[in-house]
A and B are shown apart, each in its own frame.
Chain A
Amino acid sequence: MAALLDIRHRIRSVKSTQQITRAMKMVAAARLRRAQDRIFSARPYANQMLTLLASLAARTTDRSNPLLAERPIERQLLVLVTADRGLCGAFNTNLIRAAQSYLEEHRDKEVSIIAVGRKGRDYFHRRPIKLIAEHINIFGRLEFTQAQPIAEQIINLYTQEKVDAVDFLYNEFKSILTQRVRVERYLPIKPIEPARGESLIDYIYEQPAQEILSVLLPRYVEIEVYRALLESQAAELAARMTAMDAATNNAAEMIDSLTLHMNRVRQAAITREIIEVVSGAAAT
């Protein structure tokens, strides 16, 4: 009879796990909606800024801005954007694997890391790699003001020539089912395509174009950092949602097969008891 009781206990425990995974899926789905809205509302600003930059680029030939300056690359900085929490499928694993192959690829250079998100921090904390800074617990309440210090940090490192290139490694939100790991060069800023046609209007500049460019470029870095964080957040939530959905389904399957097994065991016990009674009666 012990076997029957054990199976019952297991079913109960699987059920409570299923409840948790289902709740996590719901929470992720609700937060994902908000994260997606955030991505959409950040887009107009980024687009307008690009248009502005393009029309400025068309007018100035001077490329002396320190953020555009390319130098031979000896020291690289990788900004690794992971999640703060686990239970989101292969989200963090994929990022860390990509980070490893990035390190492998640039082993002839001096690579240091800034970790955004706890998971990446924890992983590289224990490894012989220079971790310049960490930004953890920012995904709970992600706002533009959280992107600013990160942007400021990479700009300072770059302009003080402590690093010669800054790359971002993050998960891009493609759709709810797919995330794509992306590596993007943030600094030096790649030359912006000058605008053509209609935007070649002769502006009155309240400030010299160079001056406007030099204040605009850091803002551009900020918005790019913010975008990467938003993408990563949405991707994380989507990954968690799918992972938890799969877990909930697996739990349901497990409950079904355990219930079937339990019924068989019970049936077998009943049959055995009947046989015992019948054969006992036949013997007398």
Chain B
Amino acid sequence: MILPPYARTLGIEIASGEADTPRLSLPFSLDVVGRPGFLHGGAIAGLLEFAALAALRHVLADDSVGIEPVTSTIDYMRGGRDKTTYAAGRVTRLGTRVANVEAFAWQDARDQLIAAARSNFLLVRPLA
């Protein structure tokens, strides 16, 4: 999987093997700071978006299918601190035209989420 330009701008890296649902990591840096000492809500939204997309691409396993975001709802649960953030997505339903995907972000422990997103993506399949 190749990360798009904005993911590279954020500093996102892929922190898992090819065979697994991709786990992304985001090192803390001045480029992703919001209020002093904390991650920017928009940077977290970007990380969650790419985690959701990566999970969906992983499940689809077909690069000819286009993916277009339609809605995204993000809950912020804890401030993102000066440390690495991890994120992974989970496809809750893969339909013909729509995919429902969740994504979660955490720092210290996976059960202590700093943010979560629920997104709907439109799937644009090539004409048969």
* A in complex with B: no
